[in-house]
Chains A and B, each alone.
Chain A
Amino acid sequence: MSEIVNAGIQLALIILVVLLVPCVWRVVVAHSAAERLQAVDLLTTLLVGIVVVLALVEGVAFVVDIGIALAAFSFIGTLAIARYLSDGRLF
């Protein structure tokens, strides 16, 4: 991989990481729990992106597998919280 590609990857990584900050801010400052949940959801989506880019940085393809698991199962967390918010009592 050339220097430029490397630099590009690093830049992408930094941008993605910086994007986490507004998400955190939105989690902290929000009117409702649903908004916060949405911010967390976006944050985990960004993390999936970061994981994929990290696969490039580390040069190890199977890191993407972690992204798959993360995407698949942060979703379950989102759903559980959503259900909690809509039901008040879950079970």
Chain B
Amino acid sequence: MGRLTYILAVSALFGITWMLITARLTLESFGVGFLISALIILLVGTRDTATMQPARLPRQAISLILYTLKSFVDITVASFDVARRVLHPKLPLKPGIVAIPTQDAQQSETIAALSAHAITITPGQLAVDFDGAKTMYIHCLDIDSAQDSAQEQAKRLKALRAILGKD
């Protein structure tokens, strides 16, 4: 059941992507995309036992949308911040590499990866490397901005767990 839900949910996401890449925004097209995606995941997908519970799906979807919106804002802000620093005649930089814990109790690599992804799109930070799934090293344009990185990371992980349905 959980496996089936997972497949259906991912297929739905892929179905939407299908509509976009084939530039046919119709229900028919979604259906075709959904079927194809399901087939792809069945045939080609990894044999990981990824599961989902149907009841949690709406909450996960809402979390995803919220997270996406927040990311969008983050990216915009980050870009403007970087643009400012780049164009400033004095190049106001205070770069360095900071270690932050991924704090993932379940040792899920996916969450570590997603959090690193999130960090990289947030202002002035860039994941450089990992120590397993526990610690990551991020490069900051301004190391002062990384002072509260641990708190930020906690929030991020919470949001990600909500999306993945693992909270």
Question: Which residues from chain A sit less than 8 Å from chain B, CB to CB?
Answer: 61-62, 65, 68
Contact present for A68 and B23 (CB under 8 Å):
no
- B23→A61 contact, CB < 8 A: yes
Work out how many contacts link A and B, with CB atoms closer than 8 A.
4
By the criterion of a CB under 8 Å from any partner CB, how many residues of chain B are at the interface? 2
Interface flags, B41-82, vs A, CB<8A=1, else 0: 000000000000000000000000000000000000000000
Q: Within the assembled complex, what's the spacing in Å between the Cα atoms of A68 and B20? A: 11
Check: B21 CB closer than 8 A to any chain A CB.
yes
- The residue on A at minimum CB distance from B23 is A61
Q: Which residues of B contact A61 (CB under 8 A)?
A: 23
Complex Cα distance A59/B23, Å? 15
Q: Give Cα distance in the complex from A68 to B23, angstroms.
A: 12
List 4 A-B residue pairs with CB atoms under 8 Å apart, sorted by A's residue number.
A61-B23, A62-B23, A65-B21, A68-B21
- B21, closest chain A residue (CB): A68
Closest to A68 in B: B21
Q: Which residues of B contact A65 (CB under 8 A)?
A: 21
**Top 3 A-B residue pairs of the complex, sorted by shortest distance between their CB atoms:** A68-B21, A61-B23, A65-B21
Contact with A along B13-53 (1 / 0, CB 8 A): 00000000101000000000000000000000000000000
